[in-house]
Structure 1
Amino acid sequence: MAIALGYNALVTRFNLAVPPLRQTFWLGARAAESRTQAPDGTERIELPRGRVSAEPSTVEQLTFALKREHLNLTVLGALFEHRPVLADIQEWLNSRPTSGYARRAGYLAHWLAGADFEYRAPAGSPRVRLLNADDYLVGPEMSSPQFAVVNNLLGSRAFSPLVRKTETLRGLLAEDLRAKVARAMDAIEPEMLSRAVDYLYLSETRSTYGIEDEVPDSSRAAKFRHLLEMAGESGVFDEEKLCEWQNLIVTPLSAESSYRTAQNWLSRPGRLRNMADFIPPPVEQVRPMMEAVGRVAAYAAEGMLDPMVAATCAAFGLVFVHPFFDGNGRLHRFLLHHVLRQSGFTPAGVVLPISARMLKRLDHYSSLLKSYSKPRTELLDYQLDGDSATIRVMSPQPLWLYAYFDATEMCEFMLQCCKLCVEEDLAAEVEYLRSHDRTVRELETWLDMRQSKLNSLIDIIVQGHGALSRRKRNFVEELTDEQVARIEEVVARHFAKYIDHQV
């Protein structure tokens, strides 16, 4: 029978109400280490007997977790609420005052739970860092003289995402997407870039609403475009600035002058469904969490963190906190552009079609959001009234449940989206415009048609991969079949490269 190890054992031993672990360690009966991955992506790792004692103590389990596993501040936050654990750590510090793992445990118990220990690191104790920079992206360093521990986490106690240096993430960061953006912009003549950017603004606006399965009217679309044009303003965003942004993109009835003052929740529509898909943090946590989110966003402009990583952590942090009753999703996606432009990753006035890329991979994007929201909401006991108009949450909603999460896959996803925006989407739009100009010049030598109608006709034929469908034939009923065939040939010839790329 396998014996649970590390976080896995601590969760069971203290009955911790935390989201399920993505990776669990066990002491197995085999002579070699084995790894098994389930369809849902969770991994089970069995270690051979003899590597770990058969019945590890709480301190031994905590040592194993800190030594072998990814740092899990959520589990540790829940664990350090238990007084016997704090007593064990005090004894650990007394018996092994120079132990790096004991000092990390003591510091984290103090940082996460406010625990006090009668301890001070002996003189000459080597400082230990919470995160190994070879394995994680790290933040600015803050030293604790008491424990001789250096806190280099991303963020603060109120909000601290974790980003692991996976092989995928290392590869994406090594591509230097900021330089690729700069080279792509320099390669496009100013007039052409201006026209391309105009379309990209339109595409980004439509896509951000498309993700929410909405089609905005011209007024709402214009407001969101105006907000996109404001991206990159100097200064750290705060409550006043976020309210200003929120007021720009919602109806006057939904405009808010401060962060929310009541518990909100998300539910999918459905008759008598009466279920919450996500219950964000309680009101008292919103302001400190959002202040910490703003601090992480500032890392980009300060050069302390890759801009796309900082933008991702901050943007997903905002949507997880859900500081408003309306507009959170659009603000979440806008914040990506704000951080990127503020850091100089994207030039002033230029917007990458990130939401358009997210829309193309909507299932993946949705799964990333649910990986945070679903396991946390499933831990809560709540009650919605019969009309799903009010909610009462009966369970505790501790800070550690919301403030910490692994953002690695989110960063990988957003870096991949950004990479495709630069390498494919921007190039495709420029190719479209150049093909369009060549097509118009050739057709205007013999075709007398209003410019706006000609533009629409070209677009329709391109969408039809070089052919005008029978359903759209009445759009140019004044033309003969021979003329339509000639137009199709011209469009197909000039747009061949663009159409091949889209298929």
Structure 2
Amino acid sequence: MTAATARTYLGYEALIRRFNLRVPPLRRVFMATERTIETHARTSDGDERIELPLQRLSDTESLVGQLTFALKREHLNLTVLGALFERDEALTTVQEWLREKPSSRYSRTAGHLATWLTGHQFDYTLPPGSPRVSLLDEDEYVTGPGVSDPKFGVINNVLGNQAFSPLVRRTDKLTTLLNEGLADKVKAALSTIEPEMLSRAADYLYLSETRSTYNIENEIPDNNRAAKFRRLLESAGEPGALSEEQLCQWQNQIVSPLVAEHQYRSVQNWLSRSGRPRNIADFIPPAPDQVGLMMEGVAAVAASGSTGEFDPVLAAACASFGLVYVHPFLDGNGRLHRFLLHHLLRQSGFTPAGVVLPLSSRMLKQLERYSTLLKSYSRPRTAQLEYLLDSDSGTILVKSAQPRWLYAYFDATEVCEFILDCCKLCVEEDLLSEVLYLRAHDETVKALESWLDMRQSQLNTLIDVIVQGNGTLSNRKRKLAEGLTDEQLLKVEATVSEHFAAYIDSRALT
């Protein structure tokens, strides 16, 4: 084997291969090579391959060496560690490591995590004077309130708990978005809009958000369902914990009475896209016996956004995506997950009462990115399962285990970046764009009514369609100007173009 091809896997990837762990593939893999320089390669889908010079590494073979590398050099991966610490060999190795190096930061971290993840108890006493160590570096991760483990001298500052713990890395993009001061931008934007205009803009945004959340799922709700969802949006932010009873009440308002549920699901559900073979599942959520504990973890993360323990947008992002990943109901999970974003943002004070940010509209405009975030969780987990699916009779038998570590832990960094992006665009573009539209509409109506005799509803429709056509009415829609001469229509188009020029220009830039 040549120097160009000789590779030794390191850290988590080495542990996965050594124990044949059935876990989602790593997005970031380290390898040791005989090259003398460090190289980084990124695939088109964002996966990283990092090659390190072998001569700079001390132990690339032993289990302790691989664990040390993973804990020291890689992002914390509780899924891999959860699978690993189910193996007796791994637990025995950690026990020996603690005995041989009781003061080691990494042996203590491994012992703490093995206990935290599995409940296994080690024969160990912390040497006097050993410094406390934090599980996550606050410069690299968004952290939760630290919980001290005196046995190992480790401060566990992950977000959430054993049943649900998202990981949020402080990437350059995330840091930049957090430093935008989006909450202040929301308040500043709203302060410049007179109350009557803001009320009209909010009315449209509620309508837009309602339509978009159904459009994401290729549904067109009837007037009754749309009205119920809007009323639910208007009630978002009311005080109270995210309990099973509360979520059931919301689910009942979102779905048809025929599929209303009064508790979390007690059966295994799954998702399949239309057009796929009927015996293949796109996503198999956690087993029913895990749902309650996972949702308690989701609720704890959600609450941290209102208490100030966690940035409110990040808390809302992690909790809302956590809900759709857990899929606690047989129907309505997607709409409920998007509603939860609004509820938590308003509950934390990020969004003031009476105003809704058109987040679903933004998701609809970035549907591929949104879908990718959902699939990045669902696909690799479902791929680890063996199952029998009978779509015709509506049953699924999951033959393999569905351990907690497969579902409870995930990297939520890109989810948080996405929701921060959506909030930023909603504030800087969508809200102000709607106000700009309404002001232009008022000026246009005022100018046209001085000479044009047309029913208000017909005039509103005509203006809207001309704006959609960037200042012109297509021949196909000429009937909307029935009763107007060609000269009069040109005058209407010119008036609309004059007053909507700024709006049309701003829309062309988005």
Q: TM-score range by the shorter chain?
A: over 0.9
User: Is residue 26 of structure 2 the alignment partner of residue 21 of structure 1?
Assistant: yes
Q: Is the 8 A contact 2:148 2:156 kept in 1?
A: yes
Flag the 1:182–1:222 CA change in 2: closer, same or farther, 3 A. Answer: same
Give the counterpart letter for 2:80 in structure 1.
V
- Within the candidate set 3, 10, 17, 2:8 is matched to 3
The aligned counterpart of 2:138 is 133
- Which runs of structure 2 are paired with 1:368-447 in the superposition (5 Å)? 368-385=373-390, 387=392, 389-447=394-452
The aligned counterpart of 1:201 is 206
Q: Is the 8 A contact 2:278 2:390 kept in 1?
A: no
Flag the 1:304–1:271 CA change in 2: closer, same or farther, 3 A. Answer: closer
The aligned counterpart of 1:467 is 472
Matched position secondary structure for 1:179: helix
Structure 2: how far apart are the matches of 1:167 and 1:366? 23
Instruction: Write the deviation string for residues 328-362 of structure 1: whole angstroms up to 9, x where unpaired.
Output: 00000001001100000000111000110010000
- Within the candidate set 282, 287, 290, 1:282 is matched to 287
The aligned counterpart of 2:257 is 252
Give the counterpart letter for 2:85 in structure 1.
F
Deviates more, 1:123-132 or 1:392-401: 123-132
Alpha-carbon distance, 1:145 to partner: 0.8
The aligned counterpart of 1:453 is 458
Alpha-carbon distance, 1:125 to partner: 1.3
User: Is residue 491 of structure 2 the alignment partner of residue 486 of structure 1?
Assistant: yes
Alpha-carbon distance, 1:478 to partner: 1.1
Alpha-carbon distance, 1:53 to partner: 3.4
Structure 2: how far apart are the matches of 1:254 and 1:101? 50
Alpha-carbon distance, 1:120 to partner: 2.1
User: Is residue 118 of structure 2 the alignment partner of residue 121 of structure 1?
Assistant: no
Alpha-carbon distance, 1:428 to partner: 0.3
Matched position secondary structure for 2:21: coil
Structure 2: how far apart are the matches of 1:110 and 1:311? 29
Give the counterpart letter for 1:14 in structure 2.
F
User: Is residue 245 of structure 2 the alignment partner of residue 240 of structure 1?
Assistant: yes
The aligned counterpart of 2:329 is 324
- Which runs of structure 2 are paired with 1:66-77 in the superposition (5 Å)? 66-77=71-82
Matched position secondary structure for 2:142: coil
Alpha-carbon distance, 1:214 to partner: 1.0
Deviates more, 1:370-379 or 1:471-480: 471-480
- Within the candidate set 58, 81, 84, 2:89 is matched to 84
Structure 1: how far apart are the matches of 2:462 and 2:258? 40
Structure 2: how far apart are the matches of 1:40 and 1:340? 31
Matched position secondary structure for 2:55: coil
User: Structure 2: where are the runs of 5+ without partners?
Assistant: 1-5
Structure 2: how far apart are the matches of 1:47 and 1:472? 64
- Within the candidate set 359, 364, 381, 1:359 is matched to 364
Instruction: Write the deviation string for residues 147-188 of structure 1: whole angstroms up to 9, x where unpaired.
Output: 111010000000000000000000000001000001001111
Structure 2: how far apart are the matches of 1:75 and 1:54? 20
- Which runs of structure 2 are paired with 1:13-52 in the superposition (5 Å)? 13-52=18-57
The aligned counterpart of 2:102 is 97
Q: Is the 8 A contact 2:209 2:359 kept in 1?
A: yes
Structure 1: how far apart are the matches of 2:342 and 2:393? 34
Q: Is the 8 A contact 1:274 1:387 kept in 2?
A: no
Instruction: Write the deviation string for residues 112-158 of structure 1: whole angstroms up to 9, x where unpaired.
Output: 01111011212221111110000000011110111111010000000
Alpha-carbon distance, 1:74 to partner: 0.3
Instruction: Write the deviation string for residues 226-258 of structure 1: whole angstroms up to 9, x where unpaired.
Output: 110111010211000000000001111100000
Q: Give the structure-2-normalised TM-score.
A: 0.98
The aligned counterpart of 2:182 is 177
The aligned counterpart of 1:166 is 171
Give the counterpart letter for 1:10 in structure 2.
L
Give the counterpart letter for 1:155 in structure 2.
G
The aligned counterpart of 1:500 is 505
Flag the 1:200–1:386 CA change in 2: closer, same or farther, 3 A. Answer: closer
Alpha-carbon distance, 1:271 to partner: 7.1
Deviates more, 1:10-19 or 1:466-475: 466-475
Structure 2: how far apart are the matches of 1:12 and 1:232? 47
Structure 2: how far apart are the matches of 1:5 and 1:386? 42
Structure 1: how far apart are the matches of 2:391 and 2:21? 31
Alpha-carbon distance, 1:270 to partner: 2.8
Give the counterpart letter for 2:220 in structure 1.
V
Matched position secondary structure for 1:36: strand
Structure 1: how far apart are the matches of 2:310 and 2:418? 17
The aligned counterpart of 2:149 is 144
Alpha-carbon distance, 1:273 to partner: 2.8
Structure 2: how far apart are the matches of 1:398 and 1:19? 13
Instruction: Write the deviation string for residues 302-345 of structure 1: whole angstroms up to 9, x where unpaired.
Output: 01111110000000000000000000000000010011000000
Q: Is the 8 A contact 2:23 2:406 kept in 1?
A: yes
Structure 2: how far apart are the matches of 1:91 and 1:439? 80
Instruction: Write the deviation string for residues 53-83 of structure 1: whole angstroms up to 9, x where unpaired.
Output: 3642101100000000000000000000000
Flag the 1:367–1:272 CA change in 2: closer, same or farther, 3 A. Answer: closer
Instruction: Write the deviation string for residues 357-394 of structure 1: whole angstroms up to 9, x where unpaired.
Output: 01000000000100000000011101112616110000
Flag the 1:407–1:55 CA change in 2: closer, same or farther, 3 A. Answer: closer
Q: Give the structure-1-normalised TM-score.
A: 0.99
Q: Is the 8 A contact 2:23 2:384 kept in 1?
A: yes
Flag the 1:272–1:66 CA change in 2: closer, same or farther, 3 A. Answer: closer
User: Structure 1: where are the runs of 5+ without partners?
Assistant: none
Q: Is the 8 A contact 1:274 1:388 kept in 2?
A: no
Matched position secondary structure for 1:81: coil
Deviates more, 1:203-212 or 1:378-387: 378-387
Structure 1: how far apart are the matches of 2:254 and 2:422? 24
Q: Is the 8 A contact 2:144 2:160 kept in 1?
A: yes
Alpha-carbon distance, 1:45 to partner: 0.5
- Within the candidate set 328, 352, 368, 1:347 is matched to 352
Structure 1: how far apart are the matches of 2:232 and 2:296? 21
Q: Is the 8 A contact 1:89 1:102 kept in 2?
A: yes
The aligned counterpart of 1:189 is 194
Structure 1: how far apart are the matches of 2:391 and 2:159? 42
Give the counterpart letter for 2:367 in structure 1.
L
> How many percent identity over aligned positions?
65
